């Protein structure tokens, strides 16, 4: 079952986990991992596309808009 959290709570969770793993993971990896855990449907929609932040240090505004619009 999916966590039923708001988009804002999702972003807070990303920040919390990124703080814990900042020496190991890029910010985009943390963002994508948390997204997968709470909204796997959206994560699958962006996996392997230009919106996929997994290998990036930042999440683009376009990706943020895409994810938020589907929340």
- Binning pLDDT at 50, 70 and 90, where does residue 6 land? very high
Number of domains in the chain: 1
Asked if the structure places residue 31 within a domain, the reply is yes
**CA 69, CA 29: separation in Å to the nearest integer?**
20
Closest CA to 32 of 8, 55, 7: 55
Residue 59 lies in a domain: yes
Q: Distance between CA 49 and CA 7 in Å, rounded?
A: 21
20-70 pLDDT per residue, tens: 998 999 999 999 999 999 999 999 999 999 999 999 999 999 999 999 999
Query: Is 38 within 8 Å of 2 (Cβ atoms)?
Result: yes
Token pair 């966590």 is at which residue?
Answer: 3
pLDDT band per the 50, 70, 90 thresholds, residue 4: confident
In a domain, 1, yes or no: no
Within-domain flag for 37: yes
Residue 38 lies in domain: 7-70
- Asked if pLDDT for residue 1 goes beyond 50, the answer is no
| 2 within domain boundaries | no
Q: Could you tell me the pLDDT band of residue 3, with boundaries at 50, 70 and 90?
A: low
């Amino acid at each position: 079952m999916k966590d039923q959290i708001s988009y804002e709570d999702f972003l807070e969770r990303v920040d919390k986990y990124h703080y814990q793993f900042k020496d190991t993971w890029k910010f985009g990896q943390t963002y994508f991992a948390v997204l997968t855990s709470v909204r796997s449907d959206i994560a699958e929609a962006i996996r392997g596309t230009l919106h996929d932040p997994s290998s990036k240090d930042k999440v683009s505004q376009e990706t943020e808009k895409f994810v938020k619009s589907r929340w």
